[in-house]
């Protein structure tokens, strides 16, 4: 869920950076692009640093094995798409198209990821076009 909610925050921050650069006169096109690029790099570094701090206890305790264990709990793809929180949509779809029997597990994972991103695009695009604190 954090990744799902993280997308609007990332798009909002990106849109605010670009909007601020367009609203304030910084210089010619090159200077403006350098400013936007620098702000995006700072935002990415902050994101990486914050995630490192969050993941540090598992990295320190067990190395990458600890990270893999936590990731397996966050993304329980071994159980398939008919388990837990996403089951409703896929169970309804299964009545018309036998997703579980016609597609292998990796294809199902790619399908669910692509479907989620596809249905996020309209709201993310609107948020990018008109960033609002609401």
- Tokens representing 40? 């995006």
Which of 43, 1, 4 is CA-nearest to residue 20?
43
Secondary structure percentages of the chain, helix, strand, coil, to 5: 80, 0, 20
Q: Where are the domains of the chain?
A: 1-75, 78-134
pTM of this prediction exceeds 0.95 = no
SS3 54: helix
Q: Dump pLDDT digits (tens) for 8-48.
A: 888 999 999 888 887 776 677 788 888 888 999 999 999 89
Write down the pLDDT at residue 64. Answer: 81
Residue 126: which pLDDT band, with cuts at 50, 70 and 90? Answer: very high
Summarised one tens digit per residue, pLDDT across range 67-96 is 888 887 777 667 666 665 556 777 777 788
In this prediction, residue 49 has a pLDDT band, given cuts at 50, 70 and 90, of very high
């Amino acid at each position: 869920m954090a990744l799902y909610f993280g997308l609007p925050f990332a798009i909002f921050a990106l849109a605010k950076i670009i909007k601020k650069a367009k609203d304030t006169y910084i210089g010619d096109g090159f200077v403006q692009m350098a400013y936007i690029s620098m702000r995006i790099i700072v935002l990415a570094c902050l994101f990486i640093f914050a995630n490192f701090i969050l993941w540090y206890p598992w990295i320190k305790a067990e190395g990458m094995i600890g990270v893999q264990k936590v990731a397996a709990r966050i993304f329980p793809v071994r159980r398939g798409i008919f388990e837990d929180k996403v089951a409703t949509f896929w169970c309804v779809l299964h009545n018309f198209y036998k997703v579980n029997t016609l597609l292998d597990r990796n294809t199902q994972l790619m399908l669910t990821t692509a479907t989620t991103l596809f249905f996020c695009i309209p709201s993310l695009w609107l948020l990018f076009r008109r960033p609002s604190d609401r």
